[in-house]
Each structure stands twice: as structure tokens, then as C-alpha cells.
Amino acid sequence: MRVLGVDPGLTRCGLGVVEGARGRPLTAVAAGVIRTPADQDLGARLVAIEEQLVDWLERYQPDALAVERVFAQHNVRTVMGTAQVSGVAILAAARRGLAVALHTPSEVKAAVTGNGRADKAQVTSMVSRVLRLTERPTPADAADALALAICHLWRGSADQRLAAAAAQSVAARAGESARLLAARSSAGRSAEVGR
């Protein structure tokens, strides 16, 4: 499975593509950052980010997109920019029919380092180790995007299996209810015929 991780931001949007599966070695396919100037119009910045995201989606053909879930910060302006870029990424993936997963920063940190409060240096170090990179990915936004993809490959597949099992259970219950209803209906018709 190939996952494109997106660490959303208006000034720097981290991108990282990782391939692999849980229980097998993961491979870094690509990592980078989309940059937009802070003095540029918001709409133009979002268009530039969308164009580059689409380029990555076409070039690397991921099976899924993992995006950092927007969380509360003291700086409302930063949260708004992050949310806007997240929306652009989700829309670009949805247009291609790709599965999209949102992971909180603490989920990502816990998945990659074992500590939900790990700092950026620890995350970057573990990303390098997990992906067997000879150099640490820079800037931190690219490392965070790779961490998102790793988290999704390790945790997302488990979540998908749980969701599939739950859906199968619901379908089985619905099938059983339909069989019981049919049996009752058939029993009622047999009773009427016997009169």
C-alpha cells in the first residue's frame, strides 16, 4: 500500500509518500514541502498548494491520503490556514476516489515513537530509523508528513480491519433479521392456508 502523508500549512505544507504494510519494512518514496509566500493572496496560495498536491497524487499514485487532523492552538490564524489546506488536500483526494484518514499529532507521535508527547527531533529521528534513511528528512514538515504516512500504514490498516469487521457484523445481523422475518411471514401464511 502506498500512502501520501500531508502535514498541512499555508507557508509550508509537508508531503511524504511511504510504501509498505504493517509487519513489513516500509520504504520512503518521496518527501518534500510546498511553500507559498505569506504576502500572497490566500486564494492564490490555496490554488498553488492544490496544483502541487494534484501533481504529487498523479506522480506517486497513492492508495490513501493521511492528513494531520486540525487541533486547537492559541494562534487562530495558524489553525485557520491549517484547516484550509487540509480541506484542499481532502478535496483533491476525494476527486480521485482515494481513502482519506485524519490522524491527530499525538496519534502520529505515539505510532512512530511510542510517545504521544514526543518532540519534533524525536519524530524525525524515528522516521529516519523506520524508513532506513541515510539522512534525516528536512525540513520538519517533510518528516512530519512521512510520520503521518507511517502512522496510517501501521494504524490505519488496523482501523480498516475493525471497520470491515463491524460492517460484516452489521450485515450478518441484518441478514439474520431478514431470515427471521421471512420465516415468521412464511409461518403466518402456512397458518392461514391451514384454516
Domain boundaries, the chain: 2-165
Which residue out of 55, 68, 135, 176 is catalytically annotated? 68
CATH among 3.40.50.880, 3.40.1260.20, 3.30.420.10, 3.30.930.10 for 2-165:
3.30.420.10
Q: Where are the alpha helices (DSSP H) in the chain?
A: 42-60, 76-94, 105-113, 120-130, 140-151, 157-193
Print pLDDT tens along the chain (195 aa).
999 999 999 999 999 999 998 889 999 999 999 999 999 999 999 999 999 999 999 999 999 999 999 876 677 778 899 999 999 999 999 999 999 999 999 999 999 999 999 999 999 999 999 999 999 999 999 999 999 999 999 987 554 544 444 556 666 677 777 776 777 777 666 555 555
51 to 29, 58, 146, 157, 180: CA distances (angstroms): 20, 11, 20, 28, 54
The values of phi and psi at residue 101, to 5°, are -125, 140
Q: Pick the catalytic residue: 41, 107, 119, 141?
A: 141
Annotation marks residue 119 as catalytic: no
Is residue 176 among the annotated active site residues? no
The question of whether 68 is a catalytic residue gets the answer yes
Helix (H, G, I), strand (E, B) or coil at 132: coil
The model's pTM is: 0.80
Task: Return the closest-CA partner of residue 142 out of 160, 164, 124.
Answer: 124
In this prediction, residue 183 carries a pLDDT of 72
